Structure 1
Amino acid sequence: MTFLVMAALVIGSTSVVFAADKVDDTVKSTLVTTAEGLTDAIVQLKDEEIENYMSSGDDFTTSAMQSWQTSKDELGAKKDSNGETTVTFKDDQYTVTVPLKFEKAEANFVYVFDSQGTPTSMSVDVQYGMGKTLQRAGLNTLMGIGTVFVMLILLSLLISLFRFIPNPEAKKAAEAKAAKAAKEAEAAAIAQTAPAQAEENLADDGELVAVIAAAIAAAEGTTTDGFVVRSIRKVKRNRR
């Protein structure tokens, strides 16, 4: 009921035009009273009441309830104010900041009013201490590094599975390489057997070799010791 009364008070004050270039004392006093009253009403709401406002309230009420619901467990119960409420005016909007102290942390309730003094949004800015900030930064860092390592492991596993995927091109290349190796081995075997066959032919035609060698020696006027017949091949001549 308190929250509804304060909301009605704010909506009823829209007849006052807050369009000055700077915030005068009257406007500031009105905005501070409205923001602080809304804050006191919001922090006292129970979970059931928050759910009811979120389901049946207007846009401002819904956004305010959502912002407070996500922050209330981190803050705990309200203890006291944490300084003076400030009002700034920029881009035809008034921003009112209400600083408060809670059991677990400090927070700023930031309200935005239009030029007519109607609230348009509210957010809760939790002020974490140095220890809490470092703790959150460390957790975020560990989470980021952990995520990177997990992704690298998954990527390695995915790459290792590529060997089970059939690759026609690789198979063709392997077959071509094997065929080439077989041809080279066959050519090497033929090259190794050719001298042996020539020597065998010379051994079989020993008498013919001796005759030919003697004929060559007689024609050259020397002996057969000055040369060696390695092979004998038949020359094909065209008959006339």
Structure 2
Amino acid sequence: MKKWLLILGMITCLSTAVACGQEEKDYSEQYQVTREMVESYVTQEIAGMDEIVKQGAQAYVAEDAVMSNSVKSWESALADMGGYQSIKDISYIVDEDGIMTINVAVEGAKRDAEVVFILEYSVTKGFEATSVTTTPEFTFGELMIKAGLNTLMGMGTVFVVLILISLIISCFNFIPKIQAAFSKKGKKAEASVDNAVAQIVENEAVQEDDFELVAVIAAAIAASEGAASSDGYVVRSIRRIR
């Protein structure tokens, strides 16, 4: 048991030593970066972003992608901060590749926020900002409430979609009935058309018979008067031979 405890202690010591050895090294002196420079830069940038939002001058920085995104992030965070008050703390570090990360804790009327500046170094231009993001700081309770609301919204959306799908599936039962109703209407329409055609044909036949009867009568009258019928019918008298 003691051996296992000794081994565990050695592993813990080695892990701590490795973690300490992997601490990020600061190259601020190599790139001639001082705290005064960083504080001056950060103060001017934050004041500038806040003034742009107050004046509603976002359109003037629309062509500068980095500045435009920075102002949008700051404006979005201000709604939760309740207004910018002051800078509380500044920390920065420069890595071997000349990328400087500045973390700024700012105080708001409602809650604090963190502004993170990412700057890259070039020989011709020096340090230039590539990203500026502002994140409001929420308490654990607020984060849990937000997570709960997001979960409820997600579950509600899923339930609504499932209800819609079930309604659509239930409507499939009415499709055969609708088709049957339309097919019956079609058959009735065809039957009525057939009846109408049959009646027309029957009426024409009756009319033809009537015309023939009239012609025969006219011919008989003409024969009795000694004239020929205009319809070509000839009525001859039949004499019985005794």
State TM-score, norm by structure 2: 0.53
- Which one-letter code corresponds to 1:43 in the other structure? D
Change (3 A) 1:166 1:91: farther
| Structure 2: distance between partners of 1:95 and 1:72 | 22
Pairs within 5 Å for 1:183-202: none
After TM superposition, which residue ranges in structure 1, 4 or more long, deviate above 4 angstroms? none
CA 166–90 in structure 1, closer or farther in 2 if over 3 Å, else same: farther
Amino acid at match of 1:85: S
1:31 is aligned to 2:38: yes
**C-alpha distance in 2 between matches for 1:131 and 1:69:** 24
**Within the alignment, does 1:82 sit opposite 2:108 as a pair?**
no
Structure 2 gaps of 5+ residues are: 1-24, 178-242
Which residue matches 1:147? Answer: 157
1:68 counterpart = 2:74 = yes
Does the 8 A contact of 2:52 with 2:71 survive in 1? no
Matching of residue 112 in structure 1 with residue 122 in structure 2: no
One-letter amino acid matched to 1:84:
I
Amino acid at match of 1:24: E
Shift of residue 85 of structure 1? Answer: 2.9
CA distance in 2, matches of 1:141, 1:90: 42
Deviation at 1:140, TM superposition (A): 0.6
Q: CA 1:39/1:127 → structure 2, altered by over 3 Å: closer, same or farther?
A: same
Is 1:133 the equivalent of 2:143?
A: yes
* RMSD across aligned positions (CA): 2.6
Residue identity opposite 1:64 in structure 2: S
> In structure 1, how many angstroms separate the alpha carbons of the residues matched to 2:96 and 2:118?
10
Query: 1:50 Cα shift?
Result: 3.3
Aligned to 2:50: 43
Number of equivalences: 147
Contact 1:53–1:65 under 8 Å retained in 2: no
Letter in 2 for 1:97: N
Equivalent-residue separation in structure 1 for 2:57 and 2:74 (angstroms): 9
Q: Provide the C-alpha distance between the structure 1 equivalents of 2:96 and 2:108, rounded to a whole number of angstroms.
A: 29
State the Cα deviation string for residues 24-73 of structure 1 (Å, max 9, x = none). Answer: 28414223421232112322434434323343x42222111111122211
Q: Quote the sequence identity (%).
A: 27
Asked if the contact 2:91/2:102 (under 8 Å) is kept, the reply is yes
**Unmatched 5+ stretches in structure 1:** 1-19, 168-240
Is the 2:106–2:112 contact (alpha carbons within 8 Å) kept by the matching residues of 1? yes
In the TM superposition, residue 88 of structure 1 has moved relative to its aligned partner by 4.1
Structure 1 pair 28–49 and aligned structure 2 pair: CA distance change class (3 A): farther
Q: TM-score scaled to structure 1, two decimals?
A: 0.54
Of structures 1 and 2, the one with the larger relative CO (CA 8 A, separation 6+) is 1
Q: Which of 167, 180, 183 is residue 157 of structure 1 equivalent to?
A: 167
